[in-house]
Chain A
Amino acid sequence: MSQAYSWMLTLVVFLPAVGAAIILLLPRAEEQAIKWVALLTTLATFGVLVGILFEFDYDQSGRLQMQVDKHWIDVINSHYHLGLDGISLPLLALSAFVTVLCVIYSWNHFPEPHNPKAFLALILVLEVGMNGTFVAQDLILFFVFFEVVLLPMFFMIGVWGGPNREYASIKFFLFTLFGSALMLLSFLAIYFESNPHTFDIAALSDSHLKLLTGLSTGTASLIFAGLFLGFAIKVPMFPFHTWLPDAHTEAPTVGSVLLAAILLKLGTYGFVRIALPILPGAAKDWAPWIGLLAIIGIIYGALGCLAQRDMKRLIAFSSVAHMGFVMLGIATLTTIGINAAIFGMVAHGLITGMLFFIAGSVQHNYGTRELSRLGGLLKQAPKMGWILGFCAMASLGLPGLAGFWGEFPAIQSTFEPGGNLSQPLFRTYMVIAALGTVLAAGYLLWMLQKVAFGVPKAEFAEAHVHDVNAFEWTAWVPMLLLILALGLFPNIVFHVTDQPVSCKTAVPFSSTPVQNCATAQLTAARSGG
């Protein structure tokens, strides 16, 4: 079965693979050709995405669109099923968007040991995995794409990373692999518990089809545990976050950006796309604990930031805190919370991605990221300094910038959690999370002060510091504009996500009957699976 424009999804996923194959065939010395192939491939992929944005029916964003459903592995009843709805769309767009900017930023910035051929081929393979994960509608297909990102990122950190790269890359790989092994077991258990057996995400999560009615509470909870580990490690939630600071610190700039902007979202997306809709009952049982880990993450991440001496490590810990807000939103099981979570994913992707870009350029200029040795960026490279200030403001959740719309509604949603969750408990979380935003302001301003304010330290007083160059401008301006645009017009995202969230994801948890969702739509969604 294929719907209109379904080829677009296949193209947006596999076009980067074609680019990677071409790059592999080019001789290593042809660096210019390789760079152009990479840039054109990512641009073409982004072009396909723009086409998708045009063809997407926003009034029906709750429905899976542009679906393609072909036989893939018949023996295990797994299909090549891609589809796009309002939850996938912002993340797919983010992925295709950021990858282009990463290729542009890399143009003259290839970290040692150089080798653009391998570096760019890996970025393209990475994009296949990222784009694929966001549109896969079959559990096994999802699993395969989810894992495809592992090897490229492993090599990016391990080959082009900092001094401790070997340890960091192995740790990254190992944590994720452990989670996904258990996740796969859970997928299999879902398959065998569903009646009729299926791996189809849309069918499994459709509450009207009742495929999983025979599931006992205990089994459901165990299956959810496997999913939880798989996704929570990727997010990463406290206490599975320890791989993240190492991976971020050691990764090359572009690796950090992609890791923060996209890879972490694979985990939170997994919760919204798979764990909550397929096992809503177990999600209710687990939600208080997820909420607890989320607020521990918020506070722990913030305190961790204050203890860092390395700029990149600080940003990495801030990721733990920000992803805590995302997970808190998800844990409330409310329409507002889940919408906020998706917004938070996009906003965090842009803002933290930008922060890592800047950290990379700072390192490039000064040869260090030690906060105690930095200072006076505003004096030596005022434009970069202001951009850092802008991003820090966005990250701490200043209203009018993108970060605000991820955090504020997430906190707001904890006031009245869905799914009969304990109100006092979640209101306690609310208070603690609110304190977390204060801490966030603290560490971000502290970082800004250390890096940008004051006078340059003696050792760099005479250093020749480049301000933002052409490649950086090209890569950064689109992100900065988007941060501003999403801050001013948050409805760009909420408009797309609200329908799938309120009409599908949050339905099993809401006590009041669903409003504003035409029955026709739900039926359409059902026949879509």
Chain B
Amino acid sequence: MLAATAHLPTPVFDWHALAPQLVIVATMIVVLIADLLLPDRESWRTSTIAAVGLLVALVPVATLAHDGTDRSMFGGAYVVDGYALALMGFFIVAAYLTIMLSVDYINEGDYYKGEFYFLILVSTFGMCVMASSRDLISLFVALETISIPTFVLATWRKHDRKSNEAGVKYYLIGVLSSAIMLYGMSLIFGVTGSTLLSDIRTYLDHNGANALVTVAIFLSIVGFAFKVSAVPFHFWAPDTYEGSPTPVTAFLSVASKAGGFVALINIIYFGFYLPSGKVASSWWPALWVLAALSMTLGNLSALRQTNIVRMLAYSAIAQGGFMLVPFVAAGIAGANGDLTVAAQSMSSVVVYLFIYGAMSLGAFAVVIAVARRTRSAEISSYSGLFQTTPGLALVMTLFMASLAGIPPLAGWFAKFVMFRSIIEAGTGWGVALGIIAAVNSVIAFFYYFRVVVQMWFRPVATEDRSPIVIPQPLVVAIGITTLVVVVIGVYPQLFARVGEFAF
């Protein structure tokens, strides 16, 4: 070991490949300095800086994608390929939309502004690093960079006990899951002698899985299960989501959750996924159970909610369950020695994440817009929205129908690729999970459409019948997400191609 450290190679920096992250870091610094210099009433401008910075960060992502060569740095620990770029793009856009959701919310409350956007940027930076990480250590560091700012963000409404509860719960669970995951990772390192995912894969290829590896894989999967709030490791999510400021909830349930899934793709597809299938069969049953439980319990709990944010929290758990299904498909097919399914399954996870991000952020945008008038997150406060603000009711209907997977809205294609992967994997277990998913997508209809029923079928509950005024940033967010939900629903090829580009 000592001999190896003596020959530490000088790392080669590919500045082009690092450009997106560097732009984000620069934006972070500018935001902090601007917050210092700007007078208090001008400090909302930090949001503009952050938003512009994120859009600028998209430029190198685009040029790298145009260039198209895979770039690898730090001995293979950091890779910029189609997959990394696709997800970087997604994270940056999701963060941009989150900022659009936040501007008025943060401005109107008595909250710190500069720091808020700074923390969002830090977390986004972590996500972008995550997309490129191909090493257990950088993976872990990225994951913590994503999580730690969000612990703070969850408690942003610091005079609200619920917000404090949200932050503390999230923090404790976050630390616990990190510890479990780290323990699993250390065992993997102990067995394979490397933290590099490609090395781990080669080792497992040659030696297969022993009991220790199985335990290690299981522990790291449990750690990720906390991060993506898969049942039974989900109990923190509803309280955290409800207590956090709503834009932060949107960020947690979309971007941060996606970060967890990306970590899972990295570790499973680049690490444990194995041609010989010996290892695949040691992890897919665990994911099968997680997927089935998440879909079913997430949905059944969502049915009982009267608060729309809690409902969306449970729905996010169920959607997470759907996103786990392609992992199981990859595992089942891998265990049978069929490798083509794996890449296709992973690309369907990516497509699902993209579509889920658009429809979920859109729904949260509407929730924020409505809450500005009603000061309430109760589903019953949506009654008669169709009569007061028909446009808002219409887009919310689109988002709910999309989340429920009704064509021709984008959600159907997400569900479709998910079904496709599991049916392609075949076998009794695969088809059984497919049928569980099918039944669950019917159950999901119930609670999404409770909102729709309130908006369209019920009379206006309040005295005030004037239309809700929607601030401009929210209009931007709602506009972008609606466009995605409708266009991708009719012509899914656009996202499907990104999914293919990734794998």
Contact = CB atoms under 8 A, between A and B. Distances in A.
Contacts of B453: 158, 166, 170
A221 to B, nearest CB: 14
Interface stretch (A177-185, A274-282, A309-317): A177-185
Contact of A174 (B390, B408, B434, B442): B442
B442 A74 contact: no
Interface of A: 28, 71-76, 113, 118, 140, 143-144, 147-148, 150-151, 155, 158-159, 165-166, 169-170, 173-174, 177-178, 181-182, 184-185, 188-189, 191-192
B442 A178 contact: yes
B457 A76 contact: no
Nearest to A222: B431
Given A73-B493, A76-B417, A182 B423 contact: no
Nearest to B351: A75
B262 to A, nearest CB: 20
Contacts of B74: none
Interface stretch (B24-32, B231-239, B282-290, B495-503): B495-503
Contacts of B406: 147, 150-151, 177
Contact of A76 (B401, B420, B456): B420
Contacts of A74: 493, 496-497
Given A158-B453, A170-B453, A75 B419 contact: no
Nearest to A188: B423
A360 to B, nearest CB: 21
B176 interface: no
A181 B496 contact: no
Nearest to B441: A181
A173 B499 CA distance: 31
Contacts of A189: 423
B449 A75 contact: no
A184 B456 contact: no
A76 B347 CA distance: 12
B408 A148 contact: yes
A72 B423 contact: no
A407 B500 CA distance: 52
Contacts of B434: 185
B442 A177 contact: yes
Given A73-B493, A182-B438, A147 B407 contact: yes
B483 interface: no
Contacts of A143: 407
A147 B442 CA distance: 13
B492 A73 contact: yes
Contacts of B364: none
A76 B493 CA distance: 9
A178 B500 CA distance: 30
B473 interface: no
Most buried by B among A72, A173, A177, A181: A181
24 contacts: A71-B493, A72-B491, A73-B413, A73-B496, A74-B496, A75-B493, A113-B387, A144-B408, A147-B407, A148-B407, A151-B401, A151-B406, A158-B456, A158-B457, A159-B456, A169-B457, A170-B446, A174-B442, A177-B445, A182-B438, A184-B419, A185-B435, A188-B423, A192-B423
B416 interface: yes
Interface in B104-120: none
A155 B435 CA distance: 28
Interface in B431-451: 434-435, 438-439, 441-442, 445-446, 449
Contacts of B442: 174, 177-178, 181
A150 B401 CA distance: 11
A189 B438 CA distance: 14
Interface residues of B, number: 36
Nearest to A192: B424
Contacts of B497: 74-75
Contact of A144 (B412, B423, B446, B499): B412
Given A143-B407, A174-B445, A185 B412 contact: no
B426 interface: yes
A76 B426 contact: no
B502 to A, nearest CB: 12
B441 A173 contact: no
A28 B438 CA distance: 39
Contacts of B441: 177, 181
A159 B452 CA distance: 11
Contacts of B417: 76
A182 B423 CA distance: 12
B456 A185 contact: no
A457 B124 CA distance: 74
Nearest to B423: A188
A165 B457 contact: yes
A118 B417 CA distance: 32
Contacts of B401: 151
Given A147-B412, A174-B446, A75 B499 contact: yes
A169 B420 CA distance: 30
Contact of A72 (B407, B424, B493, B499): B493
Contacts of B426: 192
Contacts of A188: 419-420, 423-424
B270 to A, nearest CB: 22
A148 B491 CA distance: 14
Contact of B457 (A73, A118, A159): A159
A230 B352 CA distance: 25
Contacts of A159: 386, 456-457
Interface in B450-503: 453, 456-457, 491-493, 496-497, 499-500
B308 to A, nearest CB: 18
Contact of A75 (B390, B445, B496): B496
Nearest to A147: B407
A170 B407 contact: no
Nearest to B490: A144
Task: Identify the 8 closest CB pairs spanning chains A and B, nearest first.
Answer: A75-B496, A181-B438, A188-B423, A144-B407, A147-B407, A178-B442, A73-B493, A158-B457
Interface string B397-427: 1000100001110001100110110011010
Given A147-B407, A147-B412, A155-B456, 12 more contacts: A28-B390, A73-B491, A75-B493, A75-B499, A144-B408, A150-B406, A151-B401, A159-B457, A174-B442, A178-B439, A181-B438, A192-B423
Contacts of A178: 439, 442
Contacts of A118: 390
Given A158-B457, A166-B453, A185 B419 contact: yes
A146 to B, nearest CB: 8
A332 B204 CA distance: 58
Given A74-B493, A150-B406, A174-B446, A185 B423 contact: yes
Nearest to B391: A24
B401 to A, nearest CB: 6
A75 B420 CA distance: 11
B15 to A, nearest CB: 33
Nearest to B387: A113
Most buried by B among A75, A148, A181, A188: A75
A169 B426 CA distance: 35
Contacts of A150: 406
A230 to B, nearest CB: 11
B150 to A, nearest CB: 33
Contacts of B500: 75
A290 to B, nearest CB: 22
Nearest to B459: A113
Contacts of B492: 73
Contacts of B449: 170, 173
